[in-house]
Chains A and B, each alone.
Chain A
Amino acid sequence: MRSRSRRKSYSLRNSGINPSGFHPSQIQFYIILAPVVAFMLVPIIFIVSNAFKPPEELFAYPPRFFVVNPTGKNFADLFTLFSASDVPVSRYLFNSIMVTVVSMAASLIVSSTAAFALSKKRFKLKQTLFAVNTVALMFVPVAVAIPRFLIIARLGLINSALVHVLPALAMPVGLFLLKQFIDSIPNDVIEAAQIDGASDLQIYWRIVLPMVKPALATIAILTFQATWNNADTSAMYINVEGLKTFAFYLSTLSSTTTGANLVAGQGMAAAAALIMFVPNLLLFIILQSQVMSTMSHSGLKG
């Protein structure tokens, strides 16, 4: 139903370029697109199939795309073996899930409240603050890695679980996107609510948040990617094995090139890579349409 009406609208819009639906003239595009799709997909096929390959297939020459004798041994190894310092893998996984969930929730609240104030409130420093945020958007993370390290050390956050969450909440892109979105909510709507006696908190929660869902979805994905895939925080700020994350563990697995467990290590790395990938994929599929609409809506026009 939905796709039909969409196609119809496209056919109207594209009337000059292409007829609606499939047409033999489109074959040329498929011929060009097919190799591109292959190029995009091949490494991802490897990530999926490698996770199920037994060692002899993993090291086969030449590398095989698809697994012939799938095995769950890599996953079994991953969860039964202990890392160098006797921390079970499930612990890393648990840390990652906790950190990611808490960061996502907190960053949604922190950036949306700030964006609401920046967009709909009048106060003196408004423009300055927004400019500061825009400049922060352009900074190179590595340029502030050292002082950030010193500040985090001085705050006593080294080896604390909070260090996974707090820096991830400073997301200039998120604030920026959300402000653009909230700007497009008419002031009349908010004033009408005010006249009806709604408090700021009610306006924020009942009116603003529901109207900027696509931007929230996008920020959820951005925060997810920033925390779920983050190995640096564990490497830099955490010295206690039990507080490190799964992404960090994966990075140690794939860098282990010496030692007796090279073969098992590669299989485990492949399994761990798949575990890393699947939540990314699921979240993206769930939020896809929202993210796409953010892209066409957001600051990209300007």
Chain B
Amino acid sequence: MSDAVLAEIPPPQAKKEKPLSKRRRREASQAYLFLAPALVILFTFNILPIGYAFYISLHRWRAVRGSFIGLENYLQLLGSPLNAVFVVAGIGALIAAYYLWRTALEQLDRRRAALRLAVAVLLIVGGLTLILGVDSMIRAAAEERRTQEYLLSILLTVFYSAGTVPFQLIFSFLLANMLFMNIRGKSFFRMIFFLPYITPTVATAAVWRAVAFEPRRGLINNLLMSLGVAQGNLPQWTFEAKGIVVLLGQWLGVDLPSWVLNSPLLSGPSLAMIAVCIYNIWVFTGYNTVIFLAGLGSISREYYDAAKIDGAGRWQAMRHITLPLVSPTTYFITLMGIIGTFKAINHIYIMTQTVGLGGPQDTTTTAAIFIFKQFREGNRWGVASAASFLLLGIILLLTWVQNRVAEGRVHYG
């Protein structure tokens, strides 16, 4: 978001600074006076802790400071450096594939386009294989428990992002467009959609757990039973540690090979994780709808009128006017959504209380929960800080990648 938002802010005065006049100096000192309270607090509680966290991460630190151990905490979390190399190579291949794919679609020459598409597909397969290779390594590293747990927690965080952000985006975009069509009671709907966001997490997450996802008498299972989808074997929701792919296999009566069953990646997020995702979608869809509504409202009607005169249909107007012009909002929501899933603790905490934090069988232990557990339950502050820094690195990397992707695609109309 930073770059996109910063784009709106006027650039710093380009003129060469003259020697400060007396008036200028007075203005600066007044400015710092106005800033002082905010700066003191921001530095004490936000900036200083970041530096401190790095210091802690270089030590053996279990509630009290131990010896300086350099990067050992980081190595303990990542395991063999080869893992990291493979993951980075895999992600690199996927990014390259993405660029090739895009240029391929713009190619006019058919054979060249086909060639590029083929290479892109190869790169996707190769990249996935590299990342999957790490997946098997996650399992192989069983003797190094912490490595396994941390890498797994990052995979689960990715599941969590992938299981929430795209759905939030699609639902909220559709809802916003529907509401935008000047239907009666628009502000009523807007209000209702905003309610989940303003209702305290403590209350809503507990209700979802106890009323909706309750395995024996919960609303969702009741609904499934009355629809006749599930009879004897009701889904256990927040109690279910099995992956969704495994469960679907069971339900359809398909025998899955053991390399699927044993792979944390291929067996998919657990049903408990999916329950958490559904909760997250419930909370944020309405909020995003309201933001999308604001974005839609800022598009000038003249574009649509012009398009209509040129004979464009509704779909074409959507594709060539709405989507590009609403892209800054889309970008903002995506970025905030992803960062949000990386930060999330509270609702996972509450929804998994009955099966132990991050349960069942650690299948909802996202990176944030992992750090929380290392900190609170294990008192391993050094490890937790190192894990925080790695997570921070991932978020910054993601933000950077998104900025790069957005550069060509986000239009500030």
Contact = CB atoms under 8 A, between A and B. Distances in A.
Tell whether A pairs with B. yes
A286 interface: no
Interface stretch (B74-82, B131-139, B204-212, B251-259): B204-212
A30 B184 CA distance: 9
A14 B45 contact: no
A197 interface: no
A147 B184 contact: no
A98 interface: no
Interface stretch (A33-41, A69-77, A86-94, A212-220): A33-41
B222 interface: yes
Interface string B183-200: 110000111111110111
Given A142-B372, A144-B50, A147-B53, A302 B45 contact: no
Contact of B45 (A13, A17, A151): A151
B203 A273 contact: yes
B127 interface: no
A135 interface: yes
A29 B182 contact: no
B36 to A, nearest CB: 8
A12 to B, nearest CB: 8
B199 A280 contact: yes
A52 interface: no
Output the residue of B200, B218, B298 with the most chain A CB within 10 A.
B200
Interface string B84-119: 000000000000000000000000000000000000
A110 B37 contact: yes
Interface string A275-296: 0110011001100100010011
Given A39-B282, A110-B37, A139-B392, A151 B49 contact: yes
A174 to B, nearest CB: 9
Contact of A136 (B37, B46, B354): B46
A295 B212 contact: no
B384 interface: yes
Interface residues of A, number: 107
B404 interface: no
Contact of B206 (A13, A200, A273): A273
A43 B207 contact: yes
Nearest to B65: A150
A5 interface: no
A143 B389 contact: yes
Contacts of B211: 43, 46, 63
A122 B12 CA distance: 10
B343 A141 contact: yes
Interface string B207-231: 1100110101111001000000000
Interface in A149-203: 150-151, 155, 166-167, 169-170, 172, 175-176, 180, 183, 200
Contacts of B328: 300-302
A288 B388 contact: no
Contacts, number: 302
Interface residues of B, number: 110
Contacts of A147: 48-53, 55-56, 385
A124 B8 contact: no
B198 A142 contact: no
B47 A225 contact: no
Interface stretch (B140-148, B237-245, B268-276, B301-309): B301-309
A21 interface: yes
A260 interface: no
Interface in B1-20: 1-2, 4-10, 12-13, 17
B234 interface: no
B34 A296 contact: no
B395 interface: yes
Interface in A39-98: 39-44, 46-47, 50, 61-63
Contacts of B222: 62
A22 B181 CA distance: 11
A247 B200 contact: yes
A16 B32 contact: no
Nearest to B339: A138
A140 B37 contact: no
A122 B2 contact: no
A276 B200 CA distance: 7
A104 interface: no
Nearest to A296: B294
B164 to A, nearest CB: 15
A229 B343 contact: no
A11 B184 CA distance: 12
A123 B332 contact: no
Nearest to A16: B308
B53 A43 contact: no
Contacts of A132: 42, 47
A56 to B, nearest CB: 14
Given A146-B49, A277-B199, 4 more contacts: A137-B1, A142-B371, A170-B38, A172-B42
14 contacts: A16-B304, A110-B37, A124-B28, A137-B1, A138-B339, A140-B343, A140-B368, A143-B389, A166-B45, A183-B10, A232-B346, A295-B291, A301-B412, A302-B412
List 4 A-B pairs, minimum CB-CB distance, nearest first. A114-B38, A147-B52, A302-B8, A143-B388
